[in-house]
Every structure is written in structure tokens, then in C-alpha cells.
Structure 1
């Protein structure tokens, strides 16, 4: 899907699928793992998160797919999916940008961290539309391509949820 823009309706549909899978995963988590799950949720965007997205856009140009994602989903906390995945709220992503700046990814003029995993690895989207993951838990380390697009990244995340059922 590289080169195609993320569609908000597709994101809404993917959210519904992920929400259904998360519900099943949380119901089976304790019997499967022997301990209760953490708080796993994908939160839909609100008026406040839309305002935060607008403020982020005013702060720096952001890739359109990230704007689309934030227009539908404000954030996600998935500590029990693999080693954990977290899509940061637009306010948190903007705060990180103010503190750390752009992710240092060669061949990307703009690369913004919008997520992380449970190991502290950072996940960024570049102006090319590619999604990158840091090699270590560092803002200054190398980043490697994790997905060719935001859509592919979200599909991978959905498969990770489904594979744990």
C-alpha cells in the first residue's frame, strides 16, 4: 500500500475488528497465562484529541497518514500484545517532538515518533509514509523499516492480537 493514503473508514473498520479480538483475548488471558491482563484498549478520537492533533499539525508538518490515524484513534495501550504496543496520543507525540525533535532517520526529511513497544523501542512514521522502529530503546539509534505504510503497520498489529487468541 506504499504511496496510497490511509483511509479513515478503513481505520474505523480495523478498530472494530481489533476491539472484538481484544475482548476475546482479555477473556482468555487469565486462564491462558495464569495472571490477569493489564489494561488493553484502543481509544477512539474525541473532540480533545482532535484539538491536540490540530495543535500538533500547527507545531510541525506531520505525515497525512498520522493525521488520519489520530482523527479516528486517539491512542492505544496494548501491554499484553506480544511484549506490548502503545500508540501515543497526539498530545504525547507533540510533547516528545518538542523535547526530542524528529527521529533521526536518513532519507526522511520528517520522521515523527508516534508509538513504542514494551521494550522501549520507538516507532516513527516518515514523510515517505514508511513506519520505522528503533533498533534499541533510544531516540538517537538506528531505525529500521517496520512497515511500508501505516496501513501495513496497523494490519501487523491486528495480526499480533489475533495470533494470541
Structure 2
């Protein structure tokens, strides 16, 4: 991913969030939560992420390095992109193996979960060159290997509602997220990614 583009994206989403909190969220009958973009991950955090998850997509590492975590609890239904500590501390469950989703795919797909929305869906990027982004709705992490089982690992059980492609790449996902935040800032519109 282009560094200048990511830096500009971070500034744009932060500006749209500030506008949304000021113009829309401030009219809600409750105190707004903390809305944060960044800070970028430290070199130590990135090194640990790469060390423990050497297969993590470069595009996701670039977002962590240049933008950092994104926490927008009151924007639409909420949008969140995780920092390396959260990915390693909460989502990294086993011995160096990526997570997988099975159904509805003909063959299992290796993924890294990197975000969520306020409705309980997770966002995951596939490993490899393409880096397709999927929404996992009503998915449960299945340590018993419900959809797929490694001898030492696990997978996401997506048999209830399933998996939806959100964007062909992380770059396109970021554009969709920015557009959703800007639409919300304009008039409170909620746009499904």
C-alpha cells in the first residue's frame, strides 16, 4: 500500500470522524464515546506481530504502521480496526497458524481478523497477494474446529449467516470505510460496508 495514501486516509477519516461527532453524535441523548484514529503501532509492536504471525498480509501491517487502530463506537453502528496488541492478545489463539474459514468456500481460506462493527460482525483479510476483505456475520470462534480443524488450531464457524465479500482488497475496504464515515458525518446516514 502506498504510504502517502495511507497517511492521507488516516487524516481524512480523522477529519470525517471529528465532523460526525460534532454535527451528528453530539445531538444524541448520550455522551459520545472516545473516537480514536491511531496512534501508529510502534516498531516493537510491529516486530512482534511479524515474528508471531509471519504470514500476516503486508497491507495490514502497513495500516498498523502508518495509521494504527481505529475506534469509532458512535459512528453509524460502530467501526473498529484493531491494533497489533489486540490481534496478538485476543485473536491469536494457537501455535503460529492462521485462522481459517471453511463454509461457504469449496476450500478453506486463511485469514486474519482485523476489525469489527458495532453489530457483532468481524472483518477479515485473506492471506496472499489479493487480500480480499470479508465480513463474518454471526460467526463463532470454534476451538473444536467446527468448520475446519488443524491438529493444534481452530477456525471460525460461519455456518449460521456466513461470509460476505466486502472489498476486493484492503485498500478498497479503507475507501468504503471512509465513505461510510463521511456519509454519516453529512447527515447521519448509515451505510453498510
CA deviations over 1:46-70 (Å, ceiling 9, x no partner): 42xx322221211121111111111
Unaligned runs of 5+ in 1: 1-5
Tell whether 2:116 aligns with 1:116: yes
Decide which structure has the larger Cα Rg and report it.
2
In the alignment, the residues of structure 2 paired with residue 35 and residue 136 of structure 1 have an alpha-carbon distance, to the nearest angstrom, of 28
Displacement of 1:110: 2.8
In 2, Cα distance between the equivalents of 1:137 and 1:41? 26
Shift of 1:108: 6.2
- State the match for 2:15 in structure 1: 20
Q: 1:86 to 1:30 in 2, by over 3 A?
A: closer
- What are the residue-to-residue correspondences of 1:29-68 with 2, within 5 Å? 29-47=24-42, 50-60=43-53, 61-68=55-62
**2:33 & 2:91 partners in 1: Cα distance?**
28
Cα 1:110–1:19 change in 2 (3 A) is same
Count of matched residue positions in the alignment of Structure 1 and Structure 2: 158
* Equivalent residue in structure 2 for 1:102, among 99, 103, 113: 99
Q: TM-score, normalised by structure 2?
A: 0.74
**TM-aligned CA distance change 1:95 to 1:159, over 3 Å:** same
SS in 1 for 2:101: coil
TM-score by length of 1: 0.85
Q: Which residue of 2 aligns with 1:129?
A: 131
Corresponding residue of 1:90: 84
Please give the per-residue CA displacement for 1:111-142, whole angstroms capped at 9, x wherever unaligned.
10011111221111112311111021423213
CA separation in 2, counterparts of 1:12 and 1:112? 22
Deviations 1:82-120 (A, max 9, x none): 111111111111223432651415456531001111122
Where does structure 2 lack aligned partners over 5 or more consecutive residues?
142-156, 186-193
Task: Return 33-42 or 154-163, whichever deviates more.
Answer: 33-42
Residues 114 and 124 of structure 1 are in contact (CA less than 8 Å); yes or no, is this contact kept in structure 2?
Answer: yes
Residues 30/46 of structure 1: CA separation in 2 closer, same or farther (3 Å cut): closer
